[in-house]
Each structure stands twice: as C-alpha cells, then as structure tokens.
Structure 1
Amino acid sequence: MSEQLQIFNDQMENAGIKERKQVHKDGNWHETFHCWCYQPSEHGTFLYFQKRAADKAEFPSLFDITVAGHIEAGEDVISAGLREIEEEVGITATPDKLFRIGTYKEELVIQGGVDRELCRLFLMQVTPDMKLETSDEVVDIIRITSDDLSNIDERAVPYRSVITGDAGLMERQDIVPHELGYFKYLLQQLEKKVEKL
C-alpha cells in the first residue's frame, strides 16, 4: 500500500488524508521529519549530510539532510523520526537524543509537482558510540563544518566521508536545492544549541 499523508490547507488546518504521489502532484502541504546530525569539535561544529542514492526519483546523487522522511497519516513526528533514523543511517535512537528546533515551511519544485513541506526540524548530536551506516537510500554520509556551509554559495567547501574517510569538495549545486532561508534558519538554531553545551 502506498504512503498516506496528512495534508493541510494554506492556513495549516487539517485538510484530510491523501496518497503521497497525489500530494506532490496537487502541491498539498504535508509534514516531514528532518534530522541534522551534528558534532561539536575543536575545529568547529560539523554537520552531517547524506548522499542520496542514484536511483532516487527526486534529487538523485545529491547531498541532503542527514535523515529525512515523510510523516505518515496517524504517525507522530517522534515515532516517524526514530523509524527514519534507523532505516536511513542504521542508528537505533531514543526520543531523548532528538532536540526539536522548530518548523520550517518549504516549497521545492520536483518532477511531477510541487513538494510543499512543513519541515519538523530536529538536531541529534553524534556521539562516539554511534556508528552511522549507509542503506538502500543513502550511499554515503559526509560532514562539513557549519562555517563552511554558511559559505557554500560563494565557494566549494571541503568534506570528508564518515563511511570511507575519502575527502572531496562540495558546491551548492551538489546539494538538494533547499531555500537559502532554510539553511540560515538551521545554522542559527545550531549555533544556539552548541552555545548551551
């Protein structure tokens, strides 16, 4: 059975349930879980990106949020998030590891429609006992500093794979085209969180 999603009108009121493909085709607002893994260090704060598999329908082979997925109708955001974290990067997380940083409304043009997301954003600190893994949907996981992310529109920035150890350069065009405001919001919230550590 295909994914059924809760949809919302422009006033963010419940507007029923609809099949995922139809939601994107019709451009309905719907909820998604976004979790950014981060790691403070003496070299700055690292943010982790997944590299999407080449066979993904949307944005194949681009770097994206560490873990992201749709929240199915009737599913709460934390349960959806824990499920997605395990499916995509192989970590069995607990609710206390997730730090909610808010909701960001984002619209992305995709093949066959518009993806209008109410992004429920979370941070999760990577600790030494966590072993990030790849999956069918994720072919690599890399990390860059938050300072480098803030400069990615101006220059290529260095990254290192946490899976293979390989290094490379990332440019803006290598990342799923999230709005500039999305990354600004993320970096502001990350800075607030790291200041409290």
Structure 2
Amino acid sequence: MNDEWLTTFDEDGNITGSAPRNDVHRLGLWHETFHCWLVSREPDGEISIWLQLRSRQKRDYAGLLDITAAGHLLTHETPQDGIRELEEELGISVPFAALHPLGIIPYTMDTSGFLDRERANVFILETALPMEAFNLQPEEVAGLVTASFTDFSSLWEGSRSSIRVRGFRMEGTLRIPIDEEAVISSFVPHEPSYYRKIIAGISAVFA
C-alpha cells in the first residue's frame, strides 16, 4: 500500500502532480477516490441503503460503518477502474454501465495525524442480490448491513438519533447476524455535507 501513487490536485480540481499515498494523507493533498453506494428496493417499495462494516484490522476508522465499496484511484486509473472495488471488497461483478453517477463530491476529513482531502467520484448501484451473494474481503470489510433509506436520511438531517441496521459480520468463516441500533458515531466521520449530498443524489435517482 505504501507504494501506491496517487494523482494530486489543487482545491479547484487542477492536477498538480503525483505522490505516494502516505505522503498524500500526511500532507493533506487533494486526490481522487471511487465511492459506490448500493441500494435496493424492498417488496413494499421502500428503499434500503447498504453499508459496509470496516474491518477491525484497518488502520483508520476500524469497525465503523462506511460507504458500501470505496477505494483510491491510482495515477494510471480512471473512475471506470474503480469498479474493481466492488469485486475486491464485496465479491460481486457488475458492469460499469450499471452504475448511476452522482458526479465528483470534494470533501475533507481531518483527524489527528491524518488529513484526507478527497475528490470522490460517487456512484449508486441498485441491487437485487441477497446478502448470501456477497463474499467479503476480510482485511477490508468485516460485515455488511442495510438500513431504511428514509431512516438514514433522517439520521443525517438530524431528526433521528439512531437507526436500525441489519445484516451480518464475519467471524472467521461464520456469518454472525447483526440487528442493532447505529448512531452518528457508528459511522466513518465523512463531512455531514457529504452524507447529505449522497442522500440528495439517491433521492433524485429514485424520485
């Protein structure tokens, strides 16, 4: 991972060069990522949003709920190459044409010793796959859950204090059911404005 080179940008989105991933985060340089949010339609017509549970082996934000599948784009890659994250992290193969683009969402996460400035190429994928179809990458993803999109929206808009998430976590080769409440601190601390833009984008697609 230390050998990964990322294209760097200024705050206006102009390319400024490239740098190793560790330096990009240490220096707080803008760089590109791929984000894909999975959603599904329930039999009653309601929309569910899918969330990954980050592996406890992760250096950053271990054990927190996050974007369904995401990763950095290397210097030689385009957003289309990001589709590999779905196969690597979730074990599913889909064509890039199946994704709904939401555009580039720039945002910053500033934690102790770690300044992450991302230009996120964001996509939505509607899926009808059952949970059993997903084979998770253990060093990256510990589990997979769904939540009501309406409740998820209310959480980030401030009208709910918690939401119900259901799915599974891996313990070795066993899938352990999850059915619990999640609060804001259960999630990776992306800017609230990022989550609100995701909500607006999904709402527009499924309007």
Short-chain TM bin = over 0.9
User: In the alignment, what sits opposite 1:173?
Assistant: 185
TM-score, normalised relative to structure 1: 0.92
CA distance in 2, matches of 1:178, 1:113: 13
CA deviation digits over 1:75-98, x for unaligned, max 9?
Answer: 01111x221111100011111111
Over the aligned positions, Cα root-mean-square deviation in angstroms equals: 1.6
- Residues 50 and 141, structure 1, Cα contact 8 Å, conserved in 2: yes
The farther-off stretch of 140-149 and 107-116 is 107-116
Amino acid at match of 1:189: G
1:110-149 residue pairs with structure 2 within 5 A? 110-128=111-129, 131-135=133-137, 136-149=139-152
CA deviation digits over 1:7-49, x for unaligned, max 9?
Answer: 0012211100100000001100000000000002225210000
Match of 1:150 among 153, 161, 166: 153
CA distance in 2, matches of 1:150, 1:39: 15
Amino acid at match of 1:182: Y
Q: How many Å apart are 1:113 and its aligned residue?
A: 2.6
Q: Secondary structure at the match of 1:151?
A: helix
Aligned length: 194
Report % sequence identity. 27
CA distance in 2, matches of 1:52, 1:172: 15
Give ranges in structure 2 of 5+ residues lacking alignment.
169-174
CA distance in 2, matches of 1:11, 1:128: 38
Give ranges in structure 1 of 5+ residues lacking alignment.
none
CA distance in 2, matches of 1:145, 1:113: 32
